[in-house]
A and B are shown apart, each in its own frame.
Chain A
Amino acid sequence: GQSLEQPSEVTAVEGAIVQINCTYQTSGFYGLSWYQQHDGGAPTFLSYNALDGLEETGRFSSFLSRSDSYGYLLLQELQMKDSASYFCAVGNTDKLIFGTGTRLQVFP
């Protein structure tokens, strides 16, 4: 089968750094994406890694190791507004397969 595993919940304080891991097992792989979803809202695209290494976009960075079937999302200088669910997603042929999701709670 196909699976993408993430920690169910992560907590941190404002200004801290947090890492959300994603390990995947899929029959096909074209890249790893990350999406953010606030309660009741739509997922929004954060980042994409097709190749191994680190991609940086402002306060957010994403890392991929294809040999380890592993990636992570790194959030720096956490803000209260970062409290949301974060999903990794593997591109597989023409569709995305989403991970289990990680709920991030940022405390003051």
Chain B
Amino acid sequence: GAVVSQHPSWVICKSGTSVKIECRSLDFQATTMFWYRQFPKQSLMLMATSNEGSKATYEQGVEKDKFLINHASLTLSTLTVTSAHPEDSSFYICSARTSGFYEQYFGPGTRLTVT
């Protein structure tokens, strides 16, 4: 149980285009989903917290107009990187939790490369 999927697993896009990443909880309902960004050999940096049916809460320094998050249902959250730039290239990981915030279930991640 507690499986989280992400799609796509990797994507290459051109500068200036937008990319949407989906995060789904497959066998449970996720009250809260989180979006992280991870650079090679570095830690996970929380970008935003997403609750179903409400606006996402962004961490300081994260541009909400650039990283659009939608949590349309208890099993789906999406992250859209708008007007992508090469510096947005990174590993994006989502996680979901039901209750007990200490245990989050992570998706397999999406590697984004912007050319």
Chain A residues in the interface with B (C-beta under 8 A)? 30-31, 33, 35, 40-45, 48, 50, 87, 91, 94-101, 103
Contact = CB atoms under 8 A, between A and B. Distances in A.
Nearest to A88: B43
B36 to A, nearest CB: 8
A20 to B, nearest CB: 14
A96 to B, nearest CB: 6
A35 B43 CA distance: 11
Contact of A43 (B32, B101, B106): B106
Contacts of B32: 94
Contacts of B101: 30, 91, 94-96
Contacts of B102: 30-31, 33, 48, 50, 91, 96
Interface of B: 4, 32, 34, 41-46, 49, 93, 95, 101-109
A33 to B, nearest CB: 5
A11 B38 CA distance: 23
Contact of A33 (B42, B49, B103): B103
B46 A97 contact: yes
A72 B34 CA distance: 25
Given A33-B103, A40-B109, A48-B102, 20 more contacts: A42-B4, A42-B107, A42-B109, A43-B44, A44-B106, A45-B104, A45-B105, A50-B102, A91-B101, A94-B32, A94-B101, A95-B34, A95-B49, A96-B104, A97-B46, A98-B44, A98-B45, A98-B46, A100-B43, A103-B41
A42 B43 contact: no
B65 to A, nearest CB: 21
Nearest to A45: B103
B43 A95 contact: no
Contacts of B107: 42
10 contacts: A35-B106, A41-B109, A43-B93, A45-B103, A48-B103, A91-B102, A95-B34, A95-B101, A96-B46, A99-B43
Contacts of B105: 45
A42 B92 CA distance: 10
Contacts of B109: 40-42
